[in-house]
Chain A
Amino acid sequence: MDLATIVGLIGACALIVIAMLMSGELGMFVNGPSLVIVFGGTIFACMAKFSLGTYLSAMKIAGKSFTNKLPDPNALIEEVVALADEARKGGLLSLEGKEVSSDFLQRGIQLLVDGHDPDVVKALLSKDKNQAVERHNVGATIFASMADMAPAMGMIGTLIGLVAMLANMDDPKAIGPAMAVALLTTLYGAVIANALCGPIADKLKQRAIDEAMIKSLVIDALIAIQNGQNPRVIDSLLRNYLPEGKREVADAD
């Protein structure tokens, strides 16, 4: 579970709701037609930009970004260094059936055990990595597109409200409430763009970068294991992936 995403989104929405409550009654900020125009309009207009499959898979990917936390690189390095040591002492076949932290690493180990050429191992795993990055980038593009679209839909809603208001100027008392309702769609659009879709799009972009790094690290580790490389050398090699401040000193064994 990626706490930052959950806490960030819930926190932002909660603050907006608190601000609404402090301004008066929460009910005055809720309007059915406005919600339909902004949420529905944003979802459907965005759907028109992409294929249905791509659009729906982006929702699934966004869901995964909330639930699946990427492994800690330091822990991952320790794990693959231990695997390298195991392979040198017990052979590549000793890695078969080992419990590992990720499916990607499991798949790579299976390729090693099955006796695939290092170039083939690298090519297959790199393809997997590139596809994962591509999926996240497509997801990020869709959510960025929603973040662009939502304020425009809010503006459309506001204009509809204003037209309706101006068409009924007989009752001056109704102008205020009608104006408030008209402006609600702009508020909804801004909230969707800045408190929901924008952060999710940026999160997916960051996730693509992080996943590419983690998977590149695993690929390098597996190739080094296949070459019987010294675990300490592997440790040093892989720590180059980490920012200097996050490079934990490896235990000298």
Chain B
Amino acid sequence: MSEERRRYFRITETVGLSYTVLDEFGPADVAGDAPASDILAHLTEQDKKIEMALLEVEKESPKVAELVSLFNQKLERIVNLLTMEGRLLDQIAMRIREVNISACGIAFTNEEHISEGRPLRLELTLYPEEKKIVSDGRVVSCDPAPDGRHFYMRVDFYAMSKTAQEELIQHIVKTQSSQLQQRQKNK
């Protein structure tokens, strides 16, 4: 894709953009932070152990087993709630923003810093046709913006479907044509 980056031209335009930071299977960014997928695997492992223990306790004390089972269900609900909340926090709400976009990558100003190499799931809404394009991407760079408060993030698309890329290319060429028309009118 990086070779392709040089093969496709870029335009600056306004699109709807939201992204989700995907799980990364490399080393954690912050020491001591376990990736979410590891925590969920750990909880599943604990559930299996609890179920085994409950089977043994149930024979001796059914009441205690029922109580422990209820506690476990309660904890499971809390974990599910926390997981959902985490996902909502990860998913930056769809916002209209100015981006620099090509058929193989996108660059935009962002409030949060996302380290280089992190995978993202990007959801783009292309205007005026309101076409939705979903693609995974990888952060190529995330540098402090000139204002000092934001970050300028460059993302390479990867695993984008042929159909989505075709739609994106057509949209970019049409948008460039519209921008040229606008420039003509402003002369």
Chain A residues within 8 Å of B, Cβ to Cβ: 87-94, 112-118, 225-230
Task: Type the 1/0 row for B155-187, where 1 means its CB is closer than 8 Å to any CB of A.
Answer: 000000000001001111110110111111000
Q: Which residues of B contact A228 (CB under 8 A)?
A: 169-174
Q: Which residues of A contact B8 (CB under 8 A)?
A: 88-89
Out of A116, A117, A226, which one reaches B173, CB within 8 Å?
A226
Chain B residues within 8 Å of A, Cβ to Cβ: 7-9, 11, 103, 166, 169-174, 176-177, 179-184
B184 near A91: Cβ-Cβ < 8 Å:
no
In the complex, what distance in Å separates the CA atom of A33 from the CA atom of B112? 98
Q: Which residues of B contact A230 (CB under 8 A)?
A: 166, 169-170
B181 near A117: Cβ-Cβ < 8 Å:
yes
Binding site secondary structure of chain B: helix
In the complex, what distance in Å separates the CA atom of A112 from the CA atom of B176? 10
Q: Which residues of B contact A87 (CB under 8 A)?
A: 173
In the complex, what distance in Å separates the CA atom of A116 from the CA atom of B177? 8
Out of B11, B166, B177, which one reaches A226, CB within 8 Å?
B177
Out of B7, B11, B173, which one reaches A227, CB within 8 Å?
B173
B177 near A115: Cβ-Cβ < 8 Å:
yes
Task: Name the CB-closest residue of B to A229.
Answer: B170
Out of B103, B170, B176, B182, which one reaches A92, CB within 8 Å?
B176
Q: How far is the CB of A85 from chain B (nearest CB, A)?
A: 11
Out of B7, B169, B179, B180, which one reaches A113, CB within 8 Å?
B180
In the complex, what distance in Å separates the CA atom of A91 from the CA atom of B169? 10
CB within 8 Å for A89 and B7 given contacts A115-B177, A227-B174 = yes
Q: Which residues of B contact A116 (CB under 8 A)?
A: 181, 184
Extra inter-chain contacts (15) besides given A117-B181, A228-B171, A230-B170, CB under 8 Å: A88-B173, A89-B9, A91-B176, A93-B180, A114-B180, A114-B184, A115-B180, A115-B182, A116-B184, A226-B177, A227-B170, A227-B173, A227-B177, A228-B173, A230-B169
Q: How far is the CB of B3 from chain A (nearest CB, A)?
A: 12
In the complex, what distance in Å separates the CA atom of A117 from the CA atom of B180? 9
7 A-B pairs (CB sep. < 8 Å) = A88-B169, A91-B9, A91-B173, A91-B176, A92-B173, A117-B181, A230-B169
Q: How far is the CB of B143 from chain A (nearest CB, A)?
A: 25
Q: Which residues of A contact B9 (CB under 8 A)?
A: 89-91, 94
